[in-house]
Structure 1
Amino acid sequence: MKDEATFSPKQDAEAVSVSDMFNNILNEKIKRGAVEKAIEVKVDEFIKRVADDVFSSWGDLSKLMKEKMTEAIMPTAESLGDIPKYHDFVTKRLRLAAQNFYDNKLVEVLDGELKEIMSEVPDVVNLSWLVEKIVDGAREDKAEGEISLHIDKSYSSYWIGIDKESDKSEYECNFRIGLNEDAKTGKLKIFSLRVDGEDCRKSIALGPFYQFEKILYNAYVTEAEFALDKGEYAGDYNTEWYYD
């Protein structure tokens, strides 16, 4: 390692003031091009910083180049107008499948269900028959007891509530049946049927109903006759059973 050169004063400190000394040194540096050299270095640094900024990812040139390349690579919006969207494609396929079902399968399915309905509709559904069926179902759970039966008349209509449990109010009953009297024939027909709180007008399948429930439902949808064959009062029907 080289030793640093020993500094030798060139000016007599006793003869030259500090101010003159500074001016002399400054003039000497200027004559030797020190200022020009310093400016050149700073200009080089400045140019480099500007170039770095221009070519950086956030620079103006980068933004402009990205915009121009995007325009060149991406197709125009107008050219994309005829490309179908995925959900549009799915929707069209679903519509086609539904139409094929209606055209080829629906008639067959409905004919089968209607044939089944018509084969299980008696000429007349008697209330005593329905009460007996519900008593038989309740007898399987208890050795003796009584079902709930309500018959409420309002003008030419009747509301019937039936439940295999005792002490149920009309509105709490599992079955609630609305009957209308035909003005011409005087016969009663079911205009409303609720099973387990569900309105049968909203049912489009026979699946939920079995045995006598299914027959009752079929009588409703075909407007079959429903008769209060034992009388218009709940006491006219046998709602109790005892241990044999």
Structure 2
Amino acid sequence: MINQTLSQLLTERVTAFAESPKPAELIDAGIEKMFQSVVDDLFRSYGDFTKVVKEAMAAAMPANVGDVFELTKYNAMVASLLRQRWEQAAVESLVLKTADKAISEVLTGDGLITGEVSLRSLLQAFVDDNKDDAREHGWSHPEIRFEEEQRYGNTYLAVYFDPEPEDSYRSGGYAREKRGDYGLKHRIHVRLTGDERAPANNWESAVRPGEVYSASLDDKKISLELNVRSPWERQLVALYFGNAMLLVDCDQDDFSYGLDD
């Protein structure tokens, strides 16, 4: 505990809070505050329900703890409570049907993943997407780091990755210090389930399933408003918001741009 950074300590405490009954209480309180105005808008005009629900969800989100919440469960709780309250208020059936459609549009989307995603496939797609830059700058491999730790009886894996390898970064400027993990562009935080599956080949490591509870692209936390471009980015966003399980089936040194082959 003495050697922990302030960031690590805060992350642990907020994680403990996120796993307690308190999030449901916060959600309920947030919905109580905004429900009356939402219903008033619904009765005045059917309007743009998707916009109304997005604004309501944004108002109900507790500040500064989104990075460590398991957003899939959080979204499901919000949607469930919204539906319950509209039903309890005996809102007109057409209004309820339209509102329910809007909720689904906010919390889902095209290409939503609901099964399992291979971390190897995701990172390989990331590597392939950056091969042109690698060829231009002479990079041999991306910078990928796995950091694993135990907290509260659970195993957590953080995957940090950046197109530019560390040796290239260090040589690109005078007296550049090594980048910290959060100095890399992208990151995925995974809570491992503790289960293991046999690998496809004897020379590979066991496959470990996990749940993504936080992720960032280009140092920006993934959100409903984040613009994504490449297939691997869309895959990560869908993985984060969907009910998919991430399969940790690779090591950090398994990837290269293959330009020396």
Which structure is richer in relative contact order (CA contacts within 8 A, separation 6 or more)?
2
TM-score normalised per structure 2: 0.47
TM-score normalised per structure 1: 0.50
